[in-house]
Structure 1
Amino acid sequence: MTTNARRRGSIWSAAVRTPLGVCSVVLLAIVVGLALFGPVLWGDRASAIDTDAIGQGPSGAHLFGTDALGRDILVRVLVATRLSMALAVLATAIGVGTGIVLGVLPSVLPRWAARLVVSAVNIAVAFPGLLLALFFAVIFGVGTHGAVLAIAFAMAPSFARLVQTLAASVMGRDFVAAARVAGVGRVRLLTRHLLPNIGEPLVVNATVGAGASLLAFAGLSFLGIGVQAPEYDWGRLLREGLDGIYLNPAAALAPGLAVVLAGLALNMVGETVASVVGVRTPWSRLRTPPAHEPRVDAPLVPAADAVLVVDNLRVSFPRPSGWTTPVRGVSFSVRSGEAVGVVGESGSGKSLTALAVSRLVEAPGVVTADRLEFAGTPLLTSSDRAVRGLLGTSLAMVFQDPMTSFNPTRRVGRQLAEVSEQHHGLSRSKAFARAVDRLTAVRVPAAARRARQYPHEFSGGMRQRAMIGMGLMGRPKLIVADEPTTALDVTVQRQVLRLLAKTRAEEGAAILLISHDIAVVAGTCERMLVMYAGRVVEDLPTAALPGAARHPYTRALLATTVDLETDRDSPLTVIPGRPPEPDQVPEGCAFADRCRFATDRCREEDPVLEELDRTHRVACWHPAADPTPEPRETVTAGGAA
């Protein structure tokens, strides 16, 4: 057995040991066992007519009584399990297969044909499923075969819509476009690139859909257009029991209870499957917290007026092989009214640090810290209610892409007003008036009119201003700006940075600015944190840059910065190599493989973030003492030099 097979088996084993998994397995085992062995054990007894026991109520001999021919109702319900479940599964299989075909056809057909298929599916989805089933039952005729096809084709449109939605999200991705450019045929594109990427949600929905098919089949048989005599399923038995419900209510209770329990079993199995296929990490790893590792740096001593204190912050995520820690021992503080920038290459842990500070790291991620305080409140130990009120009013988060941060279905003004409605108790009209005032404060033109528009009607820079305005709905003590100028042109970038500086001056708010652009941070902030491989490797004032930089990585970043004085005839400067993956951080200094000063000690022992003076910390065994630029690899028009 391969490692992947064993790993997947352990996930299933852990899933079925949960309360949901145990209940689903037990119920499904009972249903399957009755379907397999019920007719064998009680088939003759279920058909035996007893004229001496016609229409009897519940008794010791017949727990749910007898029907109009004296046959035991409980035994007939048990025997009917096979036919009821078989028909439901068959209808589901046909419906799912038809839905998959209808769902993927628009991805491979010519555009005009794809539109016809999509339109037909949309029209079919508009009709209730039971109405479609009745319609198809009339077309295919009364009886078992007609009912199977009716239910299958009734569930196919909704399943096709699901497949179309999932397929559309996959077909727009770059790897599909690359496959098309490479000349991959439509059928191969469908089987190799499309279906494998949407298979998991389809399996889950098919499992849950089997329960709906069971209920629909019982409904058709109850109406008399499903299973016909002498055969019988739960729906037909329910109809027969309903005729004498006033004399023997248990006659209708038994088949109804069977439908409910079997449907519940199928739905619970679907939920269990969903919990497995949606998790790539063994459940045992999720339940085991990451191992506590001793801190590398000395304990942080924050200033007395610090609004944010982060000491030995670690953010971990589970993997099949254990826990990985992209943020490992970050320590810093931000004083009231101070602007601190965080720089580093992609994957260095900048944004993840900001999310942890804002309590936005979701499970299964785990955030730990020796101390994580905002405005004097410990974020990791305080109640959710207390922290929610604090973060909702005193911390503003400006995300990298406000288009994905705003709800596209709600007007901008109403989204801003929601902050005051929830946290300040303002009425709807007063909250909206404040939203207009905040949009005016961040220089959104015609704020009253713009507040009634949707996010897609704003330009990129205007959306970013509106996002800052949302943060100003309260009285923020800290503004966390995560790449707020990415993808903006230089003019709008300058406006956004000026707006942040103006907000800081007027509101007295501290700013934690995260950026790839070291020049932006140097021109906006008083202090700069340089992160590499999940750690702060240097903490220094920006006023003395570039000469104050002591860590080789900081100096390399400064060397790659392009400004108006850069020689345009010289090749671009780059840092050789690439940062390590979070789960492959080497022993010792993570930058050692890219550093020309690295020694054996650097590769064996992780340097401590130590103070050089009151405002400067650096984690390096060989910090540079002179401002001489470091030689770096260069890139020319023809490639790397």
Structure 2
Amino acid sequence: MARIRIPARIRNPLAYVTFVLLAVLVLTAILGPLFLHDRAEAFDVAALQAGASAAHPFGTDALGRDVLARTVVATRLSLWLALITVTIGVVCGAIVGSVPVVLGRRAGRLVVAALNLMVAFPGLLLALFLAMIFGVGARGAVLSMAVAFVPSFARLTHTTASGIANADYVSAARLLGTPRRVILRRHILPNIAEPLIVNATSQVGAALLSISALSYLGFGVQPPSYDWGRMLADGLPFIYTNPAAALAPTLAIVLAGLAFVLAGELLTQLLGDRRAHYTVPTATEATSTTEVDVPEAQVLNVRGLRVTVPGDPVPFSPVLDLDLTLRAGEIVGVVGESGSGKSLTATAVGHLVGYPNLVTCDTHRLAGVELGTLDRSARERLLGTSVAMVFQDPMSALNPTVKVGRQLSEISEVHQGMSRRAALERAVDRLRAVRITQPEVRAGQYPLEFSGGMRQRAAIAMGLMADPVLIIADEPTTALDVTVQQEVLALLRRVAEETGAAVMLISHDIAVVSEIANRVLVMYAGRIVEELPVEQLSSATHPYTRALVTSIPDMTTDRSVPLATIPGRPPHPAARPAGCAFAPRCDRAGSGCREDEPELEAAGHGGRVACFHPIAVGATIPVRRGA
């Protein structure tokens, strides 16, 4: 017989105390009314308001009924009312808090504004006001307190849902054209369930106290029914002559509230220590890889791309009039310092830039189709099947509550019409294609069971589920060690060769790009300042590109002197200087550079450069080194 393994985090005295308290409460609620109901209702005229004695350990009430027996019997109703209150509050709060995610911007703002107003109003005062509307009695008390609890649960739901809604895997689902209600059900609600459950467990004690308070004030449970609050109302008038009568329900409320607070803390530990259990499917050889249609020679053609974001006092554009072309099977590296607009360009190409940012362009052709001529559903269908996004952080790109195989197979189910079984088989095949060992086993695991390199491979496999013609890899190796970094780069190169897909590799590290790219685009202050073949990097003619190349140490670098640096900092997009944006940091800049913006023109290395005073191909320049 298998032994039940208790997580180490809960093998402590506090956990045992919590289990004991909960067990006592549950058994008391179940067995108390069965065995003590008659004793709790029995009148003893000779012992009216009697103090504590052997026959009545906590004395009797005004009618001579045993207080201890009544306290035990009242456990069921008291706990039941508290649980019902919290359940209604959680369900309604989750619905209200999720509504802004599903509705449009304007309707969502109205809901959030109403929610903020309700949160600002004290809960107990709101409950008292609602009790006058719903009427006295157990039902009115439950409804009043449930409505009073809704704002707090809705605020928690909205806060956590807003964070999840900005995750990369939700952005990917939007790119696939997944309906909002499906995103809410599959990606948002499962990921916010944990804090809601933990908070709800802790709030049972608060609900118990609140319901008891309403009963004590006369708005809750009415005679002949009774809960702990009703017993307090009967016992407190005699607190000086018979304090034991009020002590029993008070102790019960305190212990029950403590039990649920401890249960919430224990549940937090349990959920934090959880490990996904999975079954190992039968190992089967995957079917032959689906043939991929070789895309047109020109996979992507973007002209005049501009991204505008709100600013104070006026909007500004981190990406300005950018032209971009990628061909089938080509790997194009986009490099530049942080803030140059690389990632924003990638998300704009994938139509993932959300409100309030604005994206405009003169031409945006993908696989020969002009996206501006398509309606929304057709555009999302094309993007969902033709573009694959590989994000910097694979853990944020994968939904932690859904198994990896299921996340991959959903793409084929939605866009290729496959059955669940066929889609899962293709997911296993894609995992095998990116060199993940035991893909049948791994498909049944959660992302947290993958290493960083495996998660990045799984993210690439997800992009290959729908046979994309364009793969956008945004800093795919930043968080990986050197060995895994080389494996991921080699994988991207192999995918481009085998599928014919074009790859846009975003990176701040020009050395990484130089390893696999065919062509390099150098961005500075939202513009492309140089475009050249990767083998011509050492002959770059733009001073900024040459400075980037020079700043990369190699085996011949003199370690006795500081590394080469680029003086100054890139300008903020909202404060871009007139003329060439690199002029304030450039030794070759003249007066004309500070007045006019250079255009991209043909250069001697076979590419293009935007510079009034480019460096001659093959020429050397002095290297600036840090202090």
Matched, 1:323 2:400: no
- Give the deviation of 1:532 after TM superposition: 0.1
**Structure-1 residue corresponding to 2:415:** 423
Equivalences for residues 481-492 of structure 1 within 5 A: 481-492=473-484
Equivalences for residues 443-454 of structure 1 within 5 A: 443-454=435-446
**Structure-2 residue corresponding to 1:480:** 472
SS of aligned partner of 1:546: helix
SS of aligned partner of 2:472: strand
Unpaired runs of at least 5, structure 2 = 1-105, 115-128, 135-143, 157-195, 221-228, 234-252, 269-294
**Structure-1 residue corresponding to 2:122:** none
Equivalences for residues 91-490 of structure 1 within 5 A: 123-126=201-204, 133-142=210-219, 305-490=297-482
**Structure-2 residue corresponding to 1:509:** 501
- Give the deviation of 1:517 after TM superposition: 1.3
- Give the deviation of 1:568 after TM superposition: 2.1
- Give the deviation of 1:127 after TM superposition: 7.5
Matched, 1:616 2:607: yes
Aligned letter for 1:558?
V
Cα distance in 2 for residues equivalent to 1:449 and 1:21: 44
- Give the deviation of 1:473 after TM superposition: 0.6
- Give the deviation of 1:24 after TM superposition: 12
Does 564-573 or 497-506 show the bigger shift?
Answer: 564-573
Please, what TM-score do these two structures have when normalized by structure 2?
A: 0.57
572, 583, 588: which one aligns with 1:581: 572
Cα distance in 2 for residues equivalent to 1:513 and 1:452: 30
Does 484-493 or 380-389 show the bigger shift?
Answer: 380-389
**Structure-1 residue corresponding to 2:288:** none
Aligned letter for 2:213?
F
**Structure-1 residue corresponding to 2:590:** 599
Q: For each residue in 1:161-213, what CA deviation from the matched residue of structure 2 results, as whole angstroms up to 9, or x when unmatched?
A: 9xx99xx9xxxxxxxxxxxxxxxxxxxxxxxxxxxxxxxxxxxxxxxxxxxxx
- Give the deviation of 1:535 after TM superposition: 0.2
- Is residue 559–residue 630 contact of structure 1 (8 Å, CA) maintained in 2? no
- Is residue 326–residue 582 contact of structure 1 (8 Å, CA) maintained in 2? yes
- Is residue 527–residue 539 contact of structure 1 (8 Å, CA) maintained in 2? yes
- Give the deviation of 1:564 after TM superposition: 2.1
- Give the deviation of 1:137 after TM superposition: 1.5
Does 549-558 or 316-325 show the bigger shift?
Answer: 316-325
- Is residue 605–residue 617 contact of structure 2 (8 Å, CA) maintained in 1? no
Cα distance in 2 for residues equivalent to 1:600 and 1:572: 30
SS of aligned partner of 1:512: strand
Cα distance in 2 for residues equivalent to 1:521 and 1:557: 12
Q: For each residue in 1:259-283, what CA deviation from the matched residue of structure 2 results, as whole angstroms up to 9, or x when unmatched?
A: xxxxxxxxxxxxxxxxxxxxxxxxx
Q: For each residue in 1:259-317, what CA deviation from the matched residue of structure 2 results, as whole angstroms up to 9, or x when unmatched?
A: xxxxxxxxxxxxxxxxxxxxxxxxxxxxxxxxxxxxxxxxxxxx982110011100011
**Structure-2 residue corresponding to 1:255:** none
**Structure-1 residue corresponding to 2:549:** 558
Query: How many aligned residue pairs are there?
Result: 396
- Give the deviation of 1:559 after TM superposition: 0.7
Cα distance in 2 for residues equivalent to 1:407 and 1:429: 20
Cα distance in 2 for residues equivalent to 1:136 and 1:23: 30
Q: For each residue in 1:330-367, what CA deviation from the matched residue of structure 2 results, as whole angstroms up to 9, or x when unmatched?
A: 11201111111100000000000000000000011110
SS of aligned partner of 1:319: coil
- Is residue 555–residue 629 contact of structure 1 (8 Å, CA) maintained in 2? no
Cα distance in 2 for residues equivalent to 1:22 and 1:391: 32
Cα distance in 2 for residues equivalent to 1:507 and 1:123: 51
- Give the deviation of 1:128 after TM superposition: 10
Cα distance in 2 for residues equivalent to 1:563 and 1:22: 57
- Give the deviation of 1:135 after TM superposition: 3.1
> 1:474/1:128 Cα in 2 relative to 1: closer, same or farther (>3 Å)?
farther
- Is residue 394–residue 477 contact of structure 1 (8 Å, CA) maintained in 2? yes
Cα distance in 2 for residues equivalent to 1:610 and 1:405: 38
Cα distance in 1 for residues equivalent to 2:589 and 2:297: 38
- Is residue 571–residue 581 contact of structure 2 (8 Å, CA) maintained in 1? yes
- Give the deviation of 1:631 after TM superposition: 3.0
- Is residue 580–residue 596 contact of structure 2 (8 Å, CA) maintained in 1? yes
**Structure-2 residue corresponding to 1:185:** none
- Is residue 537–residue 619 contact of structure 1 (8 Å, CA) maintained in 2? yes
- Give the deviation of 1:142 after TM superposition: 4.2
- Give the deviation of 1:452 after TM superposition: 0.6
516, 524, 535: which one aligns with 2:516: 524
Cα distance in 2 for residues equivalent to 1:25 and 1:375: 44
Cα distance in 1 for residues equivalent to 2:440 and 2:571: 49
Cα distance in 2 for residues equivalent to 1:22 and 1:419: 34
SS of aligned partner of 2:431: helix
Cα distance in 2 for residues equivalent to 1:449 and 1:312: 46
Cα distance in 2 for residues equivalent to 1:22 and 1:500: 45
Cα distance in 2 for residues equivalent to 1:435 and 1:483: 24
Aligned letter for 2:212?
F
Aligned letter for 1:514?
I
Q: For each residue in 1:476-496, what CA deviation from the matched residue of structure 2 results, as whole angstroms up to 9, or x when unmatched?
A: 111111111112111101100
- Is residue 328–residue 535 contact of structure 1 (8 Å, CA) maintained in 2? yes
Q: For each residue in 1:496-548, what CA deviation from the matched residue of structure 2 results, as whole angstroms up to 9, or x when unmatched?
A: 0111111111111111111111112122111100000000000111122202x
SS of aligned partner of 2:538: coil
Equivalences for residues 532-551 of structure 1 within 5 A: 532-547=524-539, 549-551=540-542
> 1:422/1:589 Cα in 2 relative to 1: closer, same or farther (>3 Å)?
same
- Give the deviation of 1:320 after TM superposition: 3.3
- Is residue 399–residue 405 contact of structure 1 (8 Å, CA) maintained in 2? yes
- Is residue 341–residue 521 contact of structure 1 (8 Å, CA) maintained in 2? yes
Cα distance in 2 for residues equivalent to 1:583 and 1:605: 18
- Give the deviation of 1:464 after TM superposition: 0.5
**Structure-2 residue corresponding to 1:569:** 560
- Is residue 318–residue 365 contact of structure 1 (8 Å, CA) maintained in 2? yes
Q: For each residue in 1:551-589, what CA deviation from the matched residue of structure 2 results, as whole angstroms up to 9, or x when unmatched?
A: 100000001012222222221111000000110101100
> 1:19/1:409 Cα in 2 relative to 1: closer, same or farther (>3 Å)?
closer
Q: For each residue in 1:215-266, what CA deviation from the matched residue of structure 2 results, as whole angstroms up to 9, or x when unmatched?
A: xxxxxxxxxxxxxxxxxxxxxxxxxxxxxxxxxxxxxxxxxxxxxxxxxxxx
Cα distance in 2 for residues equivalent to 1:409 and 1:534: 37
- Is residue 556–residue 630 contact of structure 1 (8 Å, CA) maintained in 2? no
Unpaired runs of at least 5, structure 1 = 1-17, 27-79, 86-90, 104-117, 169-302, 636-640
Cα distance in 1 for residues equivalent to 2:593 and 2:373: 36
- Give the deviation of 1:612 after TM superposition: 2.6
Identity in percent? 50
- Give the deviation of 1:616 after TM superposition: 1.1
Cα distance in 2 for residues equivalent to 1:410 and 1:19: 30
